[in-house]
Amino acid sequence: MSQAVATQNSAASLTGLLVPLADRTLLLPNVAVAELIPYRAPQVSEGTPDWFLGQIAWRDLRLPLLSFEAASGGQVKVASGARVAVINALGGRPKVKFIALLVQGIPRSLKVGNDLAAADVDLAPLELGAARVGEDVVRIPDLVGLEQLLADAGLI
């Protein structure tokens, strides 16, 4: 019986991360984030889009570092508390296992249940939806779309 209760509880909720950006907060599934690392200046290349910040080293890999804000129509901002979220790639490309996302601070864990209220707000490019968490509006990013943006620009 306890197994049935555990299965019912896990189907009704999952653990999410509230990821602070410069101009919004993203809601990601906990399993989407492989690691949070300190911000380090990326290796920059000429002639790349403004949302592509360059390449960073992580665990013997070179990862593309992106600004979600700039990719969805905003501005790049690197604040003093900036960090990098290493995101598990979801696009099914055999050579792309991770991408890096500039974040502004430390993500907070949040249990997300069926009662998560949708927010009726305008969505920016690369946002799949929005929800209300307390008084705040959080955005649900299109991580596959973000990866596709990299592919379309020839960066992965």
pLDDT for the residue numbered 92 = 84
User: Has residue 4 been placed in a domain?
Assistant: no
Q: Give the angle 107-109-113 at the CA atoms, nearest 5°.
A: 135
Residue listed under structure tokens 């999952």: 14
Q: Tell whether 2 is covered by a domain.
A: no
Q: Which tens digit of pLDDT belongs to each residue from 85-131?
A: 999 998 888 888 999 999 999 999 999 888 888 999 999 999 999 99
| Whole-structure pTM value | 0.87
Q: How many independent structural domains does the chain possess?
A: 1
Query: Domain holding 61: CATH number?
Result: 2.40.50.180
Query: Looking at the domain assignment, is residue 12 inside a domain?
Result: no
82-88 and 33-38 beta bridge pairing: antiparallel
Task: Say if 28 falls within a structural domain.
Answer: yes
Residues, the chain, total? 156
Does residue 1 lie in a domain region? no
* Domain that includes residue 38, residue range: 21-108+117-153
